[in-house]
Amino acid sequence: MARLQGRDTPSAGPEAELWMGAHPSGPAGLTRDGRATTLLDAVAGDPDGELGSACARRFGGRLPFLLKVLAAEQPLSIQVHPDRDQARSAFAAQQARGGHGPYADDWPKPELLCALSRFEVLAGFRDREEAAHLLENLGVDGLRPVIGLLRAGTGEQALSEALRVLLERAPDDRAPLVSAVVASSRRLARSAHPHAAAYAAVERMSGHHPEDLGLVASLLLDHRVLEPGTALFMPAGGLHAYVHGVGLELLANSDNVLRAGLTTKEVNVPELLRITDPSVRVPVVAPRSVPGPGSTWLYDCPVAEFALYRTELDGSGGPLVPASGPRIVFCADGSARLSARTGNTEPLRLGPGASCFLPASDEEVLVEGEGTLFVAAVGLRPDEHGAIAQNSFTSL
């Protein structure tokens, strides 16, 4: 993170996430007319002006997306996020009980992860038979009940049941089981096994979470390595973990997290399993070229809250895409100069790791420079009839 922003390295302490948004847990600082404020306060003070009236109505005056840089030197927790109905009902019930619980807000949390470096992830459940095969190859007697559940099952729910049996393991049995799994994973990671990379991930993650049942549960999940510029869409209900790498994460404006492992925080197994959908598949999102300065691509997602654009500036310049709505612009590399087509405001220069917020009232912004820009925007746009339509979805 420090290297990306041009600060001294190494940083004074771990820096895993950089938030750019208006969530109450961590609103971005904002300088407006020479005055320091936060993006949360700016949006709350003028929802129609900052978001546009259509967006303000649709999302109750709330900026619907949150942009993050993730710098995972060690694995982040295995986790899952609720959909809109689940978040609303669970948060309301939690508030009625006094407010203590795992829900930070009443919003869903679908996510898009775009790799800035090679990024290792666990994303969604494996095929049931494949998961059984990976566990069986370990040769660990303590996994026989889990393997039996997977083999005897007739549907994807057997994956959830296998996860439940793993996470509810008797406390005295956990350390011996994990130790045996790590030892066998170490052996298989050095073999010609087709899933050697998944076993190698278990071995590496054990250095950070040596007795965590999430190490075993990770083998139920699909292991992938994303190349830079590749993106995954993570629907609500999809179990996942971000293992290692630097990436840009765009998500609905929520901090709702249910954890399954690789963490020192609470693992609420019943609630985790209620939210987890074992049928969720995690597609790779194929960006499609759209008109814009330099070379511009859109990562379409099947959600209303967000869309991500990537622009490779080549010095020619032009109107920033998209041209309307609330937008957060992040410079990942090089530099860019942004200026309003109308008005007397001074141009704004963004260097590596810098970002800015463009309100809906800035309807057209010109951009020039050489580098890579990402633009987070709302996933709604006017169609030819002037109504609000959701972005289409393209995946590989």
Where in the sequence numbering do the catalytic residues fall? 259
Helix intervals (H) in 253-394: 269-275
Only one residue has tokens 């009902």, namely 89
Helix intervals (H) in the chain: 2-5, 39-45, 47-51, 53-58, 84-96, 128-137, 144-152, 157-167, 171-189, 196-206, 214-217, 269-275
| Residue 255 neighbours by CB distance under 10 Å | 17
Phi-psi region of 353 (alpha: psi -120 to 50; beta: other; left: phi over 0): left
In angstroms, what CA-CA distances link 155 with 127, 152, 271? 10, 9, 21
| Residue 171 neighbours by CB distance under 10 Å | 6
Cα(219)–Cα(207) distance, rounded to whole angstroms? 16
Tokens standing for residue 391? 């972005």
Helix (H) and strand (E) counts in the chain: 12, 22
- Asked if 265 contacts 258 with a C-beta cutoff of 8 angstroms, the reply is no
Helix (H, G, I), strand (E, B) or coil at 17: strand
Tokens standing for residue 24? 């109450």
385 CB-contact burial (10 Å; exposed 0-12 / middle 13-18 / buried 19+):
exposed
Backbone angles phi, psi at 56, to 5 degrees: -60, -40
Question: Closest by alpha carbon to 14, among 74, 69, 85?
Answer: 74
- Asked if 16 contacts 76 with a C-beta cutoff of 8 angstroms, the reply is yes
Tokens standing for residue 113? 């992860």
